[in-house]
Amino acid sequence: MTAQLCSDCAVRDRALCASLDDVELDALNTLGQKRRLARGETLQWAGEESLVCGNLISGVLKLSATTPDGREQVVGLLYPADFVGRPWADHADFTITALGDVELCVFPRGPFERVLEDHVHMERLLLQRTLAALDEARGRMLTLARLSAREKLAGFLLDLADRSHGCRATAFGPVTFDLPLTRGEMAEVLGLTIETVSRQLSKLKAEGAINLMGARGITIRDRAKLEAA
């Protein structure tokens, strides 16, 4: 079972189950299965019973909430090796939706909770990641409250470049990746308008910090300039 699910897993060394040895992985994988989502498909809806959790293997997921008047607000993104779902929570707090083709390794929530109780290292790692997500949320609050539009977008692009594991033509060449969000979704995350996002992207391109390719492609041409922004 481990050979089938784990040996070719792109995030095995970075995902939550990296704390387990091969024997423990065999036990865990009796519960797990691969699941694929296409862009726009939803893994779970806010308010639904929380049935599954797992590791994101490839692609990007968005966490979103709906305001009382029906508007969607993107509140977070999940990248490869991130943990998906909430153990010990009966219902989902946020809607989880694929931003492109996504592959996950999912487990039924109840049995997975029992695995966590038996493996303190994995439980501790989940706690560490939960606290890191809390710190990230607090940092996002600071970003929304205090930073300029330019600072927000530059920081967001740097984070995407670091977490998307984009490709390089050479070992130390510029990083190229596809934006997982539309400009409208980026505006939601950053508390900006679509027009402001487009204007700031154009400015960063004109300054030589980035290059834009089509609707989604982006290259970080000069990381130092982006960091300075």
SS3 annotation, the chain: CHHHHCCCCCCCCCCHHHHCCHHHHHHHHCCCEEEEECCCCEEECCCCECCEEEEEEECCEEEEEECCCCCEEEEEEECCCCEECCCCCCECCCEEEECCCEEEEEEEHHHHHHHHHHCHHHHHHHHHHHHHHHHHHHHHHHHHHHCCHHHHHHHHHHHHHHHHCCEECCCCCCEEEECCCCHHHHHHHHCCCHHHHHHHHHHHHHCCCEEEECCCEEEECCHHHHHHC
Regarding whether 168 and 129 lie in a shared domain, the answer is no
Does residue 29 register a pLDDT over 90?
no
Give the per-residue pLDDT at 1: 43
What average pLDDT does the chain have?
A: 83
Mean pLDDT of 110-118: 83
Regarding whether 119 and 172 lie in a shared domain, the answer is no
Give the per-residue pLDDT at 10: 67
| Residue that finishes a domain, picked among 126, 144, 162 | 144
Rounded to whole angstroms, the Cα distance separating 113 from 111 reads 5
Question: Cβ of 47: how many Cβ atoms within 10 Å?
Answer: 12
The pTM (predicted TM-score) of the whole model is: 0.78
Strand 102-108 and strand 33-37: pairing? Answer: antiparallel
Does residue 25 register a pLDDT over 90?
no
Please give the structure tokens belonging to residue 217. Answer: 């492609």
Instruction: Give Cα 228 distance to the centre of its chain.
Output: 25
Give the per-residue pLDDT at 145: 65
Q: What is the CATH number of the domain that holds 158?
A: 1.10.10.10
CB 152 within 8 A of CB 197: no
Give the per-residue pLDDT at 6: 65
Assign 124 a pLDDT band (cuts: 50, 70, 90): confident
| Residue that finishes a domain, picked among 144, 179, 200 | 144
The one-letter amino acid at 129: R
Assign 226 a pLDDT band (cuts: 50, 70, 90): very high
Strand 102-108 and strand 217-220: pairing? Answer: unpaired
Give the per-residue pLDDT at 167: 61
Read off the pLDDT of residues 131-159 as tens digits, 9 standing for 90 and up: 777 777 777 676 666 789 999 999 889 88
Give the per-residue pLDDT at 94: 92
Please give the structure tokens belonging to residue 157. Answer: 């692009």
Give the per-residue pLDDT at 140: 67
For 134, the domain range is 2-144
Please give the structure tokens belonging to residue 71. Answer: 């508007």
Mean pLDDT of 177-186: 87
Regarding whether 25 and 91 lie in a shared domain, the answer is yes
| Residue that finishes a domain, picked among 144, 162, 182 | 144
Give the per-residue pLDDT at 21: 72
Does residue 185 register a pLDDT over 60?
yes
- How many domains is the chain partitioned into structurally? 2
Contacts of 30 (CB under 8 A, 6+ apart): 1
Read off the pLDDT of residues 36-57 as tens digits, 9 standing for 90 and up: 999 999 999 999 999 998 889 8
